């Protein structure tokens, strides 16, 4: 598959829809909180349930994906921690760098991208990646954000138990195991699919609006290392994990690597806003650093992810997966 073909079929739709959100965010003052609530509590759980109950990916492979997600986050967190210390970063930038490097925008950006690039299997794998990352980000991620703010309380860890998508996964796996999945062409599954599909364009519009409203400040000049870790090191680490775990399904392995390569997660910004407001000695706060990293990794990801998708289709990479 050529670079132009990959860009046109997988990347251009992402950029176009997100650009609509960006322009909208610049022209109108939009409160993203209600839209985000609808997405997280209604649309994404429906997407999760439908994707996991209709996917042909086996249970063993699903478990391997979850293991891979945890392994990737821990490895990237360790690498970023070492890089930050080597560069002499202090808090809150040190923890912000780790958050940016370890957690991907696997939902708003990753799910649509994976579906455009690899179809239904891509969407189902991306959904599972999002679930695994959500659990980790509200545990390890909360710890890092708290550390950036002076190790304040970890009460937000309980938020993981309030995420409907986690329960949607449990329900989906349960009905699959019991053979109780409703007919795919029945009214129930058709309705669930309709609701879940609505999340795809809305998530991308939210990305654009959030980028339009983010405060980058003086942090733009500070996020070079974050960009290198997130867009260059992360895909290599993801590829190594996929090769070791041997998912048994080449498409699943490709999507896993692609999810690892997606831009920095906006959720990291939300956590730092809640737990870290102080500035580094250079006058940059944790939220400003993450905002700049989200912006730059998202923009640079357009050519980078085009190349990643092409590379994932090559014989060399396929032989490793």
pLDDT in tens, 155-167: 555 666 777 877 8
What's the mean pLDDT in 247-274? 86
Tell me the pLDDT band of 190, cut-offs 50, 70 and 90.
very high
pTM: 0.84
pLDDT of residue 73 exceeding 90, the answer is yes
Specify the CATH class of 3-25+32-316 in words. Answer: mainly alpha
Burial of 8-45, coded b for 16+ CB within 10 Å and e otherwise, reads eebbebbbebbbebbeebeeeebebeebbeebbeebbb
Calculated CA dihedral for residues 51, 54, 57, 59, nearest 10 degrees: 90
Whether 286 contacts 272, CB under 8 Å: yes
Lowest mean pLDDT: which of 14-23, 132-141, 193-202, 291-300? 132-141
DSSP 8-state secondary structure symbol assigned to residue 306: H
Spell out the residues 6+ positions from residue 314 whose beta carbon is closer than 8 angstroms to its own: none
pLDDT, residue 123, reads 87
| 138/280: higher pLDDT | 138
pLDDT, residue 1, reads 55
Q: Tell me the C-alpha distance between 251 and 115, whole Å.
A: 11
Task: Cis check for the bond before 138: say yes or no (omega within 30 of 0).
Answer: no
Q: Where are the domains of the chain?
A: 3-25+32-316
């Amino acid at each position: 598959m050529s670079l132009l073909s990959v860009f046109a079929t997988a990347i251009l739709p992402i950029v176009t829809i997100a650009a609509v959100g960006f322009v909208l965010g610049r022209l109108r003052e939009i409160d993203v909180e209600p839209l985000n609530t609808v997405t997280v509590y209604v649309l994404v759980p429906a997407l999760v349930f439908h994707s996991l109950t209709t996917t042909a990916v086996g249970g063993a492979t699903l478990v391997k994906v979850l293991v891979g997600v945890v392994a990737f986050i821990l490895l990237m967190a360790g690498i970023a921690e070492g890089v930050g210390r080597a560069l002499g970063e202090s808090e809150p930038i040190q923890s912000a760098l780790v958050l940016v490097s370890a957690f991907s925008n696997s939902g708003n950006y990753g799910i649509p991208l994976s579906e455009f690039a690899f179809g239904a299997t891509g969407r189902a794998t991306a959904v599972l990646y999002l679930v695994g990352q959500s659990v980790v980000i509200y545990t390890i991620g909360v710890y890092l954000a708290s550390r950036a703010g002076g190790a304040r309380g970890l009460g937000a860890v309980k938020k993981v138990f309030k995420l409907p998508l986690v329960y949607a996964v449990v329900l989906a796996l349960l009905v699959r195991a019991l053979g109780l999945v409703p007919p795919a062409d029945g009214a129930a599954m058709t309705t669930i699919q309709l609701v879940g599909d609505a999340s795809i364009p809305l998530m991308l519009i939210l990305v654009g609006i959030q980028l339009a409203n983010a405060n980058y400040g003086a942090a733009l000049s500070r996020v070079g290392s974050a960009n290198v870790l997130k867009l260059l090191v992360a895909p290599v680490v993801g590829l190594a994990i996929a090769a070791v775990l041997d998912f048994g399904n080449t498409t699943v392995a490709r999507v896993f690597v692609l999810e690892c390569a997606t831009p920095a997660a906006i959720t990291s910004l939300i956590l730092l806003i809640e737990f870290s407001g102080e500035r580094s000695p250079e006058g940059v706060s944790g939220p400003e650093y993450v905002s700049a990293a989200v912006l730059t990794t998202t923009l640079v990801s357009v050519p980078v992810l085009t190349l990643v998708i092409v590379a994932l289709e090559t014989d060399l990479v396929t032989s490793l997966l």
